[in-house]
Chains A and B, each alone.
Chain A
Amino acid sequence: MTVRVARSFFLLMAGAAALAGVPAIAADLAAALRNLGDPRPAIVSQAIVDLAALDDPAALPTLRAFQEGKLRIDAAGSLLVPGEDDTFVDAATGTPITPSGELRTPIVNNRVRRELKPTIAQLELHSADPAVRVAAAGVLMKHLRPEALGPMKGALARETDSWVKSRLAVGIAELELHSPDESSRLAAIAMIRESGDLALRTDLQALLEPGADGTPAETSEKVRDAARATITSLDRKQLFVSSAANVFYGISLGSVLLLAALGLGITFGLMGVINMAHGEMIMLGAYATYSIQRAFLAYAPGAADWAIAVAIPAAFAVCTIAGMILERAVIQFLYGRPLETLLATWGASLIIIQTVRFFYGAQNVQVSNPTWLSGGVEVMHGVVLPYSRIAIVIFVALIVGALAATLRRSTVGLEVRAVTQNRAMAASLGIATRRVDLWTFGLGSGLAGLGGVALSQLGNVGPELGQQYIVDCFMVVVIGGVGNVAGTVFAALGLGMVNKLLEPLLGAVLGKITVLVFIVLFIQRRPQGLFALKGRAVEG
């Protein structure tokens, strides 16, 4: 290998001043802070470690500024923390200062970020605000370092909040696993068992693993037994947790499928035609979201987080209109020729794709998640439920509820149900079936548009977006059966669930293929889907 890795890194450090000697551990706060501005990464790292050892919350403003990339260094080498209105505060003294010469920004790379995080958290344990301490304890637990043991014990002694206390106790237990004293190791294992924290399983496992000489890292048989017992209890919990997570992933995937397929199911039920351009309606919905978001960024950047709230009705409207145009321009002439409709709507989908490509370019476009949908809630170790997915599940539930209510309670819904069940009879009772077709097709397309809004939060927005989902939509409709919202709901959630349960066993691809084969066999048993309407008219 001809690559020389580490050396050239230093070349990048602009203005690297050759300092004569490397200072040893900085004895006082001022010296440690000064070292943060050193161009050599090793010294910066050491400085952060020193600041953690000093455990003085006075260093916090500087470290936070460093983490956020706001720290500046002036020509004299002083570290400047930005205050209000372009003023600066000297990091070492805490007094306002006028910068001398040109300012530069110290480089923050992943390594520095990794070291800054626990250090800041550790110092924040001194905060008077319990909320800050709770957050800090959480961060600290994820980034435990042996050096933090002392300060953590100190923090535990002065802590009042019970949650922070328990977190700190677990963190200390984790570090104490390596204590030379057998009884403190046993106490630490007992503590871990009591906490049930799954993140610590690997630490326990490490005690049992044979080292290079073949003997386990843990010498005491007693401690090893305790560790084994705790691992078993943690494993039981792990199994439960990952099953729960899988169920959530299944519901989440299922609700995405449902959103994509709901509109298709309704139009198929009513008109007996499959709209091959359905995927493109989803795509149009996603592009509507993109356009609204861009408009917000251009004209009201402050409110950009709420673009999605505007995008929901907008996408619905755009896709409803597009769907109605498609119905009037093409589909109404093909009534009674479902196979031709299949091909004509496929042709329409090609035209829609190419048009979008023409106006927006072939490249994917960027739809960002609003801040209130970013991140997620960690329900248990390793199981994060992202807000965006939770929001989609709720969103889908609302839509299905609204749709069911419309179909059940409103006059239009009554008409739709009547036409679905027996078109000829409905027509002879005076229902304008063509008008019902038009509105239902619009509604189905509008629902696809809502699906587009949701999908834009999870994945790509590009001209080919719809093509990715169309086969999945077919499957949901085939399983769910025609003309029944409940069937579509069960089919989508079931498919999502089966997919996610098979994925860990078979891998993503084989899982999906298995599902498809299963569907072909399933059709055998129930050619009309899960919830077929009873009635002779359906056979057509």
Chain B
Amino acid sequence: MDPTLPVWARLHARREWVVFAGVAFVTLVLVPALAALPSEGSPIRLPGHLIPLFGKFACYAIVALAVDLIWGYAGILSLGHGVFFALGGYAMGMYLMRSIGAEGVYRSELPDFMVFLDWKELPITWWGFQHFAYAASMALVIPGGLALAFGWFAFRSRIRGVYFSIITQALTYALMLLFFRNDTGFGGNNGLTDFKRILGFPIHDPSTRIGLYVVSVAALLGAYLLCRYLVVSRLGRVLAAIRDAESRVMFCGYDPAAYKLFFWTVSAMLCGLAGALYTPQVGIINPSELQPANSVEMAIWVAVGGRGTLFGAALGAVAVNWAKSWLTVAFPDLWLYLLGALFIAVTLFFPEGFAGLARWKRS
């Protein structure tokens, strides 16, 4: 791509920008409007329970972007992105817990589960989380920091491929065990829940909900543009070269580990952002988000949508989760069969996912 073009032109062709604007209009303006403006009972009104659902999908789509960024463009399959998602979620959850104040069950300034464990003061890990800005930055810094440390170890010793994938599984498994412990200080199995308000707004109020949804979608669109910018930049093209022939890139004088580490950390921070937006919308964050299976599912969103195409990945996350939401009600017994078949079918027959299918049809 011609580096002399203006940034917006490098990201997308004009026609693609129109599609992007269309999506942004529908998700950012139309959906909230339909949820809020028509009176209750009106046929065009969006039912209230759909808004948090859509907000959740937006968070998952950000995760899919993050996974795609490193899988689709760096060839690193992470089966542990649930870790970064959960850490972001916990950081926000800690803020939400702190902002309950003394309205908890035990009427204490401490979160309920601490009172319950007979703790007399706030552990050091919780300090500062009463400030939204601190918590929000931690939601990015902690996943980013962990990713940096983990990636530094892993990429430096050139761990890759399947090896890397299963070590990320171990990472999420270890963190799950750690967070399950009550003594770790993050609420154990129950995790953090019973939130009351965010930034002073009551968290269960429909308008807050719409607000959170709008923020999530805006974050999704922003994350998309960021990822798109990264992958079309020189940085991104070196990365793709590493994916395709790491040794040759190395012999050209580049340090592949540094490039990988940068993208890996960005990816983790995006996941943290998604987690932070997810927690207030679903109202609970707990170690089940860290189950190894959850992280594997994240990879399938990307595979279904089409890895290496950011738009496809985000779409894949929404599609799979929509199907899950519908099928677990309609055919609870069949859901696992379908999910399993989806894994196999996508890898065997549509290695490029929806996006690949669309491209193939066009040609």
Which positions in A face B, CB cutoff 8 Å? 268, 272-274, 276, 330, 333-334, 337-344, 346-351, 353-354, 358, 467, 470-471, 474-475, 477-478, 509-510, 512-513, 516-517, 519-521, 523-525, 527
| Cα A528 to Cα B158 with chains together (Å) | 10
Q: Which of B79, B341, B343 has the most CB of A within 10 A?
A: B343
- Interface-forming stretch among B161-169, B198-206, B249-257? B161-169
Residues from chain B with a CB closer than 8 A to the CB of A467 are 293
Residues of B near A346 (CB, < 8 A) are 296, 343
Do A339 and B161 touch (CB < 8 A)? Answer: yes
Give the interface of B toward A (CB within 8 A): 71, 75, 77, 79, 150, 153-154, 156-159, 161-163, 165-167, 169-171, 173-174, 177-178, 180-181, 292-293, 296, 299-300, 303, 333, 336-337, 339-344, 346-348, 351
Q: Measured between alpha carbons, how far is A401 from B292 in the docked complex, in Å?
A: 33
User: In the complex the two chains form, what is the Cα distance from A474 to B296 in whole Å?
Assistant: 15
Bound-state Cα–Cα, A268 to B162, Å: 10
Chain B nearest CB from A322 CB (Å) reads 15
In the complex the two chains form, is B333's CB within 8 Å of A339's CB?
no
A274-B162, A516-B173, A527-B163 known; A350-B340 Cβ under 8 A: yes
Q: Which residue of B lies closest to A528 (CB)?
A: B163
- Which 6 residue pairs spanning A and B have beta carbons closest together? A347-B343, A350-B340, A351-B340, A516-B174, A354-B336, A340-B347
> Judging by beta carbons under 8 Å apart, are B163 and A509 in contact?
no
- Complex interface: chain A residues within 8 A of B299 (CB): 343
Contacts of A349 in B (CB 8 A): 340
* A-B contacts besides A339-B77, A344-B344, 15 pairs, CB < 8 Å: A334-B348, A339-B162, A340-B347, A340-B351, A346-B296, A347-B300, A347-B347, A348-B340, A350-B343, A351-B341, A521-B153, A523-B153, A523-B157, A523-B167, A527-B163
Residues from chain A with a CB closer than 8 A to the CB of B169 are: 471, 474
The residue in chain B whose Cβ has the minimal distance to the Cβ of A527 is: B157
Q: List 7 A-B contacts (CB under 8 A).
A: A272-B161, A342-B162, A347-B339, A350-B337, A358-B333, A474-B169, A516-B174
In the complex, chain A residues whose CB is within 8 Å of the CB of B341: 347, 351
CA gap between A71 and B340 in the complex, in Å: 57
The 8 Å CB contact of B150, one of A276, A341, A350, A520, is: A520
**Residues B166 and A274 in contact, CB atoms below 8 Å apart:** yes
Question: In the complex, A525→B157 CA distance in Å?
Answer: 8
Write out the residue numbers on chain B whose beta carbons fall within 8 Å of the beta carbon of A520: 150, 153, 167, 170-171
CB distance from B57 to the nearest CB of A (A): 21
Q: Which of A337, A344, A521 is within 8 Å of B343, CB to CB?
A: A344
The residue of chain A having its C-beta at the shortest distance from the C-beta of B181 within the complex is A509
Distance between A465 CB and nearest chain B CB, rounded to angstroms: 15
A509 touches B180 (CB 8 A): yes
Q: Is the CB of A478 within 8 A of B340?
A: no
Specify the chain A residue showing the minimal Cβ separation from B166. Answer: A474
Chain B residues contacting A344 (CB-CB under 8 Å) are 343-344, 347-348
Q: Which residue of B lies closest to A274 (CB)?
A: B162
Chain B residues whose CB sits within 8 angstroms of the CB of A516 once the complex forms: 170-171, 173-174, 177
Decide if B296 touches A343 in the complex (CB within 8 Å): yes
Q: Give, as a whole number of angstroms, the nearest-CB distance from B232 to chain A.
A: 24
Q: How far is the CB of B82 from chain A (nearest CB, A)?
A: 13
**Also in contact, A471 and B292, with CB within 8 A (given A520-B170, A524-B153):** yes
Chain B residues whose CB sits within 8 angstroms of the CB of A517 once the complex forms: 174
A350 touches B163 (CB 8 A): no
What is the CA–CA distance of A246 and B323 in the complex, to the nearest angstrom?
49
* Distance from B256 Cβ to chain A, minimum over Cβ atoms (Å): 14
Bound Cα distance A475, B173 (Å)? 11
Report the minimum CB–CB distance from B176 to chain A (whole Å). 10
How far, in whole Å, are A527 and B178 apart by their CA atoms in the complex?
25
* A274 to B165 alpha-carbon distance, docked (Å): 10
Shortest distance from the beta carbon of A351 to any chain B beta carbon, whole Å: 4
- CA gap between A347 and B342 in the complex, in Å: 7
Please name the residue on chain A nearest to B180 by beta carbon.
A509
Name the A residues within 8 Å of B150 (CB-CB).
520
Q: How far is the CB of B11 from chain A (nearest CB, A)?
A: 28
Q: Which residues of B contact A347 (CB under 8 A)?
A: 300, 339-344, 347
A contact residues around B347 at 8 Å (CB): 334, 337, 340-341, 343-344, 347
Contact, CB under 8 Å: A513 / B174:
yes
| B154: A residues at CB distance < 8 A | 523
**Chain A hits for B153, CB < 8 A:** 520-521, 523-524
Chain B residues within 8 Å of A519, by CB: 167, 170
Whether A330 pairs with B344 at a CB distance below 8 angstroms is yes
Smallest CB-CB separation from B165: which chain A residue? A342
Which residues on B sit within 8 Å (CB–CB) of A358? 333
Do B181 and A350 touch (CB < 8 A)? no
Q: Which B residues are in CB contact (< 8 Å) with A268?
A: 162
Q: A272-B162, A354-B340, A520-B150 are in contact. Are A343 and B173 (CB under 8 A)?
A: no
Q: Which residue of B lies closest to A514 (CB)?
A: B174
The CA-CA distance from A373 to B156 in the complex, in Å, is 49
Contacts of B166 in A (CB 8 A): 274, 474, 477-478
The interface residues of chain A lying within 8 Å CB-to-CB of B336 are: 350-351, 353-354
Q: Shortest distance in angstroms between B235's beta carbon and chain A's nearest beta carbon?
A: 23
Alpha-carbon distance A159/B173, docked complex (angstroms): 59
Using CB atoms, name the residue of chain B closest to A351. B340
In the assembly, what is the distance between CA of A405 and CA of B153, in Å? 38
- The minimal Cβ–Cβ distance linking B69 to chain A, given in whole angstroms, is 15
Looking across the interface, which residue of chain A has its beta carbon closest to that of B302?
Answer: A343
Write the nearest CB–CB distance from B218 to chain A, whole angstroms.
Answer: 31
Question: What are the residues of chain A within 8 A of B293 when measuring CB–CB?
Answer: 467
The residues of A that contact B171 with a CB separation of less than 8 Å are: 516, 520
- Smallest distance from the beta carbon of A531 to chain B beta carbons, Å? 15
Which B-chain residue is minimally distant from A475 (CB atoms)?
Answer: B170
Q: Which residues of B contact A527 (CB under 8 A)?
A: 157-159, 163
* Bound CA span A519–B303, Å: 29
Please tell me if the beta carbons of A350 and B339 are within 8 angstroms of each other in the complex: yes
Cross-chain contact B177 with A512 (CB below 8 angstroms):
yes
| A478 with B167: CB separation less than 8 A | yes
CA gap between A333 and B169 in the complex, in Å: 25
> Roughly how many angstroms separate A163 CA and B340 CA in the complex, as a whole number?
63
Known contacts A339-B77, A478-B166, A512-B177: does B159 contact A523 (CB below 8 Å)? yes
A521 to B171, CA, bound (A): 12
Q: Once bound together, how far apart are the Cα atoms of A471 and B154, in whole Å?
A: 18
Residues in A with CB closer than 8 Å to B340 are: 347-351, 354
A residues less than 8 Å from B163 (CB atoms):
478, 523, 527
* Cα-based distance from A521 to B174 in the complex (angstroms): 14
Residues in B whose Cβ lies below 8 Å from that of A509: 177-178, 180-181
B339 to A, closest residue via Cβ: A350
Distance, CA A443 to CA B167, complexed state (A): 25
Given contacts A342-B79, A347-B343, A351-B337, whether A330 and B173 have CB atoms under 8 Å apart is: no
Query: Of B162, B344, B348, which is within 8 A of A273 by CB?
Result: B162
Q: Is there contact, CB below 8 Å, between B300 and A343? A: yes
Residue in chain A with minimal CB distance to B300: A343
CB-CB < 8 A to A524: which residues of B? 153, 156-157
A159 CA / B73 CA spacing, docked (Å):
83
Rounded to whole Å, the gap between the CB of B166 and the closest CB of chain A is 4
Which residues of chain A come closer than 8 Å to B348, judged between CB atoms? Answer: 330, 333-334, 344
**CB neighbours of B346 from chain A (8 A):** 343
* Bound Cα distance A536, B165 (Å): 22
Closest residue of chain A to B152 (Cβ to Cβ) is A524
Least CB distance from A467 to B in Å reads 7
Could you tell me if A343 and B174 are in contact, using CB atoms closer than 8 angstroms?
A: no
A83 to B178, alpha carbons, bound, how many Å? 60
Distance, CA A510 to CA B184, complexed state (A): 10
The docked-state distance in angstroms from the alpha carbon of A516 to that of B174 is: 6
A341 to B336, CA, bound (A): 18
